[in-house]
Chain A
Amino acid sequence: MGIIDVKEVSFSFANGEGPKILDSVSFDADEYEFVSLVGPSGCGKSTLLRIIAGLIHPTSGSVSYMGSTISQPIRDISFVFQDFALLPWLTNVDNVSVGLSHTKMNEKEKEKVSIEMLKKLDLGGFEYAYPNVLSGGMKQRVGLARALISNPKVLLMDEPFSSLDELTARALRSEVIRILKDKAQSVSSVIMVSHNVEEAVELSDKIVIFSNKPTHVKAIKQISLGDNRNRHSKEFMKIVDETYSLLVG
């Protein structure tokens, strides 16, 4: 049994009346596992991630966290958005402390922890600026800080790097790897939606590959590369090729 168990999840919009978007999707994410979801555009990856987050409910099947069914968002599961979803009218510190809304901390404490978190993500000096002065990469760091500050066990990320240019994305991926390795932080499992196979191979322990119309799990590929993956190594490229052929085949 994984930390997150997706069991035969099917989904249609319009209260189950619409066309089937997801068809009996099953996979799990174990402790200390980084799982990527890849598949054709529009196949329902974001929808699936929103179901896992408890934002919408599956038409049938279920998603459970440590054995109990998820029916609404819970504190242990946090989320990073593709378009950052920062609130433009809040300073960066306040945007991060939004992630502490459910805690009993007072404002001073929230501010203190949020500043620390921003510093960890290399955003020292921008605490009291507003998101509009940040570059895309910096905005996503704020998004990450907000997601991590409540010490979640599970981190869900919906194409977190796809709004960024490739250089920025690369830097931020290394940053994410660094943070997740940090023993002090709480995240044990990550589920990330991606449309970039290289990215998925670089970050993941396991890649879930979807096919379209209606979307079902086509293959689950374990990635047994160690830490410090080199994108140009033979093994890396071999796995990328294998994943591509699973995806299109």
Chain B
Amino acid sequence: MVGIYPEFILLVVDTVYSWARMFVALFISMILALGIGIWTARSAVAGKIIIPVVDVLQTLPILAFFPFAIYIFVFYLPGYIGINSAVVFLIVTSMLWNMIFGVNEAVRTIPNEVIEMSRVYGMSLYKRLRMIFIPASLSKLSEQMSLSWAIGLFYLVTSEIFSTGNAKYEVRHGIGVALTQLGASRNFPAYLLGIGVFVLFVVVTRLLFFNKFDEYVNKYSTNVYPRHRHKLGLFDSLHMINFPKVEAGMSRLKGYMHSHRKLIFLALGILILALSIFLLLRLTINSQNMVSKVFYTIPGYEAESLFSLLLSFVRIWGAFLLILAISIPISVYVVFISKKKNTFLLLFQIAASIPATILLPILFIASGGNAEALAFMIFFLSGIWYVIFSILSRSKYLQSSIEDLQKIFQIRGINAWRYIYLKAIGPGLITGSITAIAAEWNASIIAEYFSSNGLSTSVKVGIGRLLDLSLSSGNIVLMLIALINMVIMIILLNTFLWKRLYSKVTAVYS
């Protein structure tokens, strides 16, 4: 036990490094969210173009872009700065979207008289920002920030772990790196201590930063105009992450899909085109004769990407089916049957605050080194909380009379499942599923392939593995093709499966 004390100091230092990345990303996200949120709320054109794109972006598993981001950043900013910029960039892409929506909504709901007042007094743009738009946004922004923080943690840890074991791209200091190395060297006391330190930091950050910020901001903004809000608890929203935003996005998208369908596909088209042009530019800069070589190999890359995608799809949806089989009964029990809802909630929230990817070393042992089993476990753990929390958070909108109804009309057993439980959890289940599956895809860059001294795993074929290997072999063309395939598949599924299902299920709510 002599070794534990210095270990503890080192772990704290590593966590401080990680938290520094998080706060830098949070700060950047706040600035961007305020800028973009206010702009899109005040300019009809900006709103029409940017908001649908943001909506699409927030359902993409952007973490899968990490290998690509690392490649770009390290290419232009070699070494320590480049890799850290890549990590911060990635965290920003996980935090930003819902914060933009929060600000946008807050600014859009500013009473018209206030805007007119600013016109009457001829306020400058700076004054309007400082005295109206920003103060009015802060409350919503604060609420969304704490959601963003939770998903940002998963991105942080996963990108740190991803970089481990690759000398060229290693982050060096970070709790994700430290835990993976401790786990790989089988120093389990220190490893568990590290997880404890991580959870401690999560709790302390919430108490000392988010709760305080929220309090401050609400004192400040209720003076602007009153609004209803609920107080954030210790773990509240810790892993409630995407589904409020996905839910909001869904109802927005229901509208957009009718009126802006073309616009969305246009935006996607532009995105893909931009990526392709970039790809071509890179190639022509590198060498002329590579162009023909690449065009020769693209069909092969495409086939490889599709095949990898297919196998990953099977794993991810397989894990997802198990998630459903377990999370549905658990959620139904907690929502409708258990009398100790809050105890369960707290337990779940603590468990969920530990990103699944951090458990890699333990899961490695648990899986007996079987790469498929390991990938399956990571996928499962990455996704399950989203489904459970989505259902639980949605359940507060259920009528309180349901319990009375059940007792009066003696709705029990199979009837209760048929008439109440399975139907009532529908909307939460769908939004939870979308985020769960996105989280699984995110985890694929770790789950399907990982290699560091002492700890390595690799499935035979899979999109996460393909992304990882194309980075380490510098095959950027293959990486881009794989990414584009994945993005298109996810957008198609969201549009043709999830959105339809969601519309169908929620159509009956007035």
With A81-B401, A83-B401 already in contact, the answer to whether A89 and B411 are too (CB < 8 A) is no
Task: Please tell me if the beta carbons of A85 and B508 are within 8 angstroms of each other in the complex.
Answer: no
**What residues on B are CB-neighbors of A79 within 8 Å?**
404, 408
Does A162 reach chain B (CB closer than 8 Å)? no
B420: nearest chain-A partner, CB-CB: A87
> Of the 9-residue stretches A93-101, A180-188, A233-241, which lies at the interface with chain B?
A93-101
Picked from B410, B419, B507, B508, the residue with its CB within 8 Å of the CB of A75 is B410
Place the interface of chain A in its size category.
20 to 34
Task: Please tell me if the beta carbons of B423 and A87 are within 8 angstroms of each other in the complex.
Answer: yes
**What residues on A are CB-neighbors of B404 within 8 Å?**
50, 53, 55, 79, 81, 85
With A89-B424, A101-B419 already in contact, the answer to whether A73 and B508 are too (CB < 8 A) is no
Does B47 reach chain A (CB closer than 8 Å)? no
Interface of A (DSSP majority class): loop
With A101-B419, A132-B510 already in contact, the answer to whether A89 and B410 are too (CB < 8 A) is no
**What residues on A are CB-neighbors of B412 within 8 Å?**
101
Does B405 reach chain A (CB closer than 8 Å)? yes
Task: Please tell me if the beta carbons of A88 and B508 are within 8 angstroms of each other in the complex.
Answer: yes
Task: Please tell me if the beta carbons of A130 and B410 are within 8 angstroms of each other in the complex.
Answer: no
Interface of B (DSSP majority class): helix
Task: Please tell me if the beta carbons of A89 and B408 are within 8 angstroms of each other in the complex.
Answer: no
State A28–B408 Cα separation when bound (angstroms): 21
Does A177 reach chain B (CB closer than 8 Å)? no
With A89-B423, A89-B424, A90-B423 already in contact, the answer to whether A73 and B401 are too (CB < 8 A) is no
Place the interface of chain B in its size category.
20 to 34
Task: Please tell me if the beta carbons of B419 and A90 are within 8 angstroms of each other in the complex.
Answer: yes
In the complex, which of the residues A50, A55, A89, A90 has the most CB atoms of chain B within 10 Å of its own CB atom? Answer: A89
**What residues on B are CB-neighbors of A73 within 8 Å?**
407-408, 410
Task: Please tell me if the beta carbons of B508 and A132 are within 8 angstroms of each other in the complex.
Answer: yes
Whole-angstrom distance between the Cβ of A4 and the nearest chain B Cβ: 15
Picked from A53, A83, A99, A101, the residue with its CB within 8 Å of the CB of B399 is A83
Does A78 reach chain B (CB closer than 8 Å)? yes
Task: Please tell me if the beta carbons of B510 and A85 are within 8 angstroms of each other in the complex.
Answer: no
Whole-angstrom distance between the Cβ of B188 and the nearest chain A Cβ: 47
State A78–B505 Cα separation when bound (angstroms): 30
With A88-B508, A130-B508 already in contact, the answer to whether A98 and B419 are too (CB < 8 A) is yes
Interface string of A90-111 (1 = CB under 8 A from B): 1000100011011000000000
Does B456 reach chain A (CB closer than 8 Å)? no
Of residues 146 through 198 on chain B, the ones whose CB sits less than 8 Å from some CB of chain A are none
B414: nearest chain-A partner, CB-CB: A101
Picked from B408, B419, B510, the residue with its CB within 8 Å of the CB of A87 is B419
Interface string of B386-429 (1 = CB under 8 A from A): 00000000000001011011011111100100011001101000
**What residues on A are CB-neighbors of B419 within 8 Å?**
87, 90, 94, 98, 101
Residues of B within 8 A of A (CB): 399, 401-402, 404-405, 407-412, 415, 419-420, 423-424, 426, 505, 507-510
12 CB < 8 A contacts A-B: A53-B404, A72-B407, A75-B410, A78-B409, A81-B401, A81-B404, A85-B405, A90-B419, A94-B419, A98-B419, A130-B507, A146-B409
